[in-house]
Amino acid sequence: MRIFPSISPGRAMARTDSGAATHVGRRPNNEDSFCQRPELGLFAVADGLGGHEGGEVASQLVLSTVADFLTSQVAQPQPASPVPDAPDGGPERLIIQAVNQAHRAVRAQQSGRLSMMASTITALLLGDGEAVVCNLGDSRTFLVRGGVFQRLTRDHTVLAEMEEAGLDTTNPFAVMHRNSLTGAVGMEASVDAECNRLPVQPGDVLVLASDGLYEPVPPDLMVRLLAQGGSAQEMAERLVAEAYNRGGTDNITGVVVRVLGNG
């Protein structure tokens, strides 16, 4: 099984430089997690919730389950015919299946002090010249191309849904619940992550971020920080440090992926 037609055992993918950084912020513990698996073309950020140690467990469990599922799919024998495109197959189907598997794993461990745990996820599957972005919750993925910033994901929050419905977001209910999630891995009985496919090209920079990173660092500042150059690791550390220095109170996590060229 191959994730993209260009991602299969023994075949090259897009060449990338990736880096990740995380900081507890001004919280007592860090409930964010990140994943870098360039051999799979997989990069992801998860922001756990649930109090006590639940958030930490949830975010780590979600990302490890997604990575393990995709690893198992790549290890399967290649089918005689190519994997069909979405919606019936292809990378979108596989990442959705991986998130569903993670959802079941989280739900299976929801008991006692872990009974309320859940996690956001924003994940990138990178192929040769294209990528799939999958999202559930309020962690986000961004694309910077030629100095132009583009948000690739949609939040699953009360505020976002009210905005999309054209409702008043200044009323007391909206203000009180603006950051409340309407979707997360493990939150409800079922899970409904969103996926989008997009072309990528050399020079693109993709940023996966928890809300603790993107809320203190607006898009124009993020673009300027990335434009300072350096490795993807240096970029990730720069973004996280800036979020903290600007008073960020939440956990802060970012993954930066630079597309260097085709495989």
165 against 155, higher pLDDT: 155
What pairs with residue 219 in β-bridges?
none
Quote the CA–CA distance of 64 and 33 in Å, as a whole number: 10
Residue 233 clears pLDDT 90, i.e. is over it: yes
Which parts of 94-157 are beta strand (E)?
118-119, 121-126, 130-136, 140-145, 148-151
Q: What is the dihedral of CA 163, 185, 126, 237, to 10 degrees?
A: 80
Cβ(49)–Cβ(117) below 8 Å: yes
| pTM confidence score | 0.89
Residue 136 clears pLDDT 80, i.e. is over it: yes
- Rounded to an integer, the average pLDDT of 114-125 is 96
Q: How confident is the model at residue 263 (pLDDT cuts 50, 70, 90)?
A: low
Residue 23 clears pLDDT 70, i.e. is over it: yes
Cβ(219)–Cβ(239) below 8 Å: no
Digit-coded pLDDT (tens) for 70-79 = 999 887 655 4
- Rounded to an integer, the average pLDDT of 109-136 is 95
Can you list the domains of the chain with their CATH numbers?
15-261 (3.60.40.10)
